[in-house]
Amino acid sequence: MYNEATHHNEIDLDKIDINAAPPTEEPERQYYFMAKCREWVKDFEQKNDRLPKACVTTFGCQMNARDSEKLEGILRKVGYEITEDERADFVLFNTCTVRDNANQRVYGRLGELKGSKRRNPNMKIALCGCMMQEPSVIEKIRTSYRFVDLIFGTHNLYKFAELLATCLAQTGYGEAGMIIDIWEGTDRIVEDLPVERKYPFKSGINIMFGCNNFCSYCIVPYVRGRERSREPKEILREIEKLVADGVVEVMLLGQNVNSYGKNLEEPITFAQLLQEVEQIEGLKRIRFMTSHPKDLSDELIQVMKESKKICRHLHLPLQAGSTRILEAMNRRYTKEQYLALAEKIRREIPDMAITTDIIVGFPGETPEDVEETIDVIRRVKYDNAFTFIYSKRTGTPAAAMEQVPEDVVKAGFDKVLKTVQDTAREQVARYQGRVFDVLVEEVNENDANLVTGRMSNNTLVHFPGGAELIGQIVDVSLDECHGFYYMGHMINRAT
């Protein structure tokens, strides 16, 4: 764990007067409550002769992962020791609800926590994130998981310090002590709160929040709210600080980065933002996620083509290959438009890896529609594709449509998955024998003589080396392709 707060946020909590009234401005108000939590932590340390421990468990996407880094940043700032052990004194689940199995996992893990809390009644359990924005979930937790202490949502995440202070001040067990604070939406973006990032050398950066697309199967717009972009100067300032702190690769995050900047007072395109990020000295790699095909501009393709830093990887979710299904999904592109776009990208930037998301079993999808999806997979030749079985989300338009029988979905899913695996294997194998720059991320989990890194196009590579290479970009020759990853050897240091 690596603490950004110590560098770009030197506010000393011990200098804040917690007997004064709380400030009304943000982020000052949150620092005031962090100071309050800090007092609680000191008291805990005195009584127990150790620091309290906190564990944040993340479900879901990169955006949730970045949110968890913010939550951990605050916990660390107030004095908690961060652990991955869920028997900690404060356990927080940052939840996802994009598919029902994400919800089921949270309930399962929550059940396991009940026993830990029985053994340690002082333990505090908190839930936040997308799943908490659903009223039916809150109802279920209130009735069946009464040992939960604190619940908040996606819109008031910036208020975590304030909620934590209230939670810590409260004693007692069960529903009487449960704090629930859920907002329906917000326009607010609070800057300059502490962040604790997982890797010293790479980081995610939110460039926008929410989504306006309302794809008919998707719950994200309902739980994350309307699309809002951060000011470019705030994004650039954050990246500059990260780079000064040792970061060489950033991932710009948004549900649809291609519509970045449209709602700003001084509108700017995503391609223009990328050009500014490119200028940051010391930054070596730029990634972004996710690109909606309907908004991918020629300007962006040109900027990517000319860039030395933008990685050769584009995640371009297809969802379905049949134009009829795409229309029912409200994706706003046809099969032909998607294929033409992929072709244009391949023509302009031949070494670009394209990856995708696919849903099988959307209401009304026939085996013939699935064949259209398979046709697109064969033509585009993805380096990787995440294939999902459609999951009915209450409140979305697709939930009211006629659902496809399970056995039909299963047959289609298996077929799509097989095609994806076959074409991806072929596609990844095309790099064999070539030399690529690789950012070393970690010592290999299974073999301590190997390190693991990623090529610009996101392909994983393992090669002999030691921990001193972590965070460095080195040239690696790709010797053997093993399906989705390579074994290689280092040629020299690229930087």
Write out the residues near ligand SF4 by the rule CB under 6 A.
Answer: 211, 213-215, 218, 220-221, 255-256, 292
CB 73 within 8 A of CB 107: no
CB of 295: closest distance to ligand SF4 in angstroms?
10
**In the bound complex, what is the minimum distance in angstroms from residue 469's beta carbon to ligand SF4?**
36
* Nearest C-alpha neighbor of 33 from the set 162, 158, 156, 160: 162
Closest approach, Cβ 168 to ligand F3S, in A, equals 26
Please give the residue whose beta carbon sits closest to ligand F3S in the complex.
Answer: 60
Rounded distance, CA 87 to CA 101, Å?
24
Q: Cβ distance 218 to 393 under 8 Å? A: yes
Q: Can you give the binding site for ligand F3S, defined by CB under 6 A?
A: 60-61, 63-64, 96-98, 130, 220, 223-224
Cβ 314 vs Cβ 353: under 8 Å: yes
Q: Is 373 in the site for ligand SAH (CB under 6 A)?
A: no
Least distance in angstroms from the C-beta of 102 to ligand SF4 = 14
Of residues 236-265, those binding ligand SAH (CB under 6 A):
255-256
Residues 42, 388, 441, 487: which binds ligand SAH (CB under 6 A)? Answer: 388
Contact string 311-330 vs ligand SAH (x = CB under 6 A): ------x-x-----------
As measured in angstroms, the least distance from the Cβ of 60 to ligand F3S is 3
Separation in Å, CA 138 to CA 88, 133, 142: 23, 8, 6
Q: In terms of CB distance, is 220 or 385 closer to ligand SF4?
A: 220
27 binds ligand SAH (CB under 6 A): no
Stretch that binds ligand SAH, among 186-194, 214-222, 453-461, 465-473 (CB under 6 A): 214-222
Rounded CA-CA distance 402/41 in Å is: 53
The sign one gets for the Cα dihedral 381, 385, 389, 390 is: negative
Least separation in angstroms between CB 330 and ligand SAH: 11
- Please list, residue by residue across 97-124, b when 16 or more beta carbons sit within 10 angstroms of its beta carbon and e when fewer do: bbbeebbeebeeebeebeebbeeeeebb
**Joined tokens for residue 426:** 């072929």
283 binds, among ligand F3S, ligand SAH, ligand SF4, none (CB under 5 to 8 A by kind): none
Q: 364 to each of 186, 343, 403, how far by Cα in Å?
A: 35, 28, 7
User: What are the phi and psi torsion angles at 242 (to 5°)?
Assistant: -60, -45
Minimum distance between the CB of residue 357 and ligand SAH, rounded to whole angstroms? 3
Transcribe 176-239 into DSSP letters.
Answer: GG-EEE--S-----------EES-SSEEEEE-EE------TT--HHHHH-S-EEPPHHHHHHHH
Find the part of the chain contacting ligand SAH (CB under 6 A) among 221-229, 383-391, 426-434, 482-490.
383-391
Identity of the residue, 61 or 470, whose beta carbon is nearer to ligand SF4 in the bound complex: 61
Does residue 393 bind ligand SAH (CB under 6 A)? Answer: yes
Question: Hey, is 8 helix, strand or coil?
Answer: helix
Taking the C-alpha atoms of 42, 43, 48 and 53 in order, what is their torsion angle to the nearest 10 degrees? -50
Instruction: Report the sign of the C-alpha dihedral through residues 93, 96, 2, 276, in that order.
Output: negative
CA atoms within 13 A on the CB side of 453: 30
> Rounded to the nearest whole angstrom, what is the least distance from the CB of residue 245 to ligand F3S in the complex?
26
Q: Which neighbouring-strand residues pair with 181?
A: 152
Q: Name the one range near ligand SAH by CB under 6 A: 85-93, 109-117, 167-175, 385-393.
A: 385-393
| Shortest distance (Å) from residue 329 CB to ligand SF4 | 8
Q: At closest approach, how far in Å is the CB of 256 from ligand SAH?
A: 6
**Rounded Cα gap, residues 108 and 86, in angstroms:** 13
Q: How far is the CB of 59 from ligand SAH (least distance, A)?
A: 13
Task: Closer to ligand F3S by CB, 100 or 351: give it.
Answer: 100
The least distance separating ligand F3S from the CB of residue 66, rounded to whole angstroms, comes to 10
For residue 99, what is the DSSP state? S
* β-sheet bridge partners, residue 463: 451
Distance separating alpha carbons of residues 450 and 432, to the nearest angstrom:
19
359, interface contact from ligand SF4, ligand SAH, ligand F3S, none, CB < 5-8 Å by kind? ligand SAH
Q: Does residue 390 interact with ligand SAH by CB under 6 A?
A: yes
Q: Which does 130 bind (CB under 5 to 8 A by kind): ligand F3S, ligand SAH, ligand SF4, none?
A: ligand F3S
Q: Which residues pair with 90 in a beta bridge?
A: 54, 124
Binding partner of 254, given ligand SAH, ligand F3S, ligand SF4, none, CB within 5-8 angstroms per partner class: none
- From the list ligand F3S, ligand SAH, ligand SF4, none, partner contacted by residue 40 (C-beta under 5 to 8 A by kind): none
Q: For ligand SAH, which residue of 99, 159, 230, 335 counts as binding (CB under 6 A)? A: 99
346 contacts: CB under 8 Å, gap ≥ 6 = 352, 354
For 252, the token pair is 């710009």
Q: How many CB atoms lie within 10 A of CB 194?
A: 26
- Which of 21, 333, 72, 97 has the alpha carbon at shortest distance from 193? 72
Q: Is 401 in the site for ligand SAH (CB under 6 A)?
A: no
Q: Is the dihedral of CA 152, 156, 157, 161 positive or negative?
A: negative
Closest CB to ligand SF4 among 5 and 215?
Answer: 215
Binder of residue 214, out of ligand SF4, ligand F3S, ligand SAH, none (CB less than 5 to 8 A by kind):
ligand SF4
Nearer to ligand SAH, 154 or 319 (CB): 319
Which residue ranges make up the site for ligand SAH (CB under 6 A)? 98-99, 217-218, 220, 255-256, 290, 292, 317, 319, 357, 359, 388, 390-391, 393
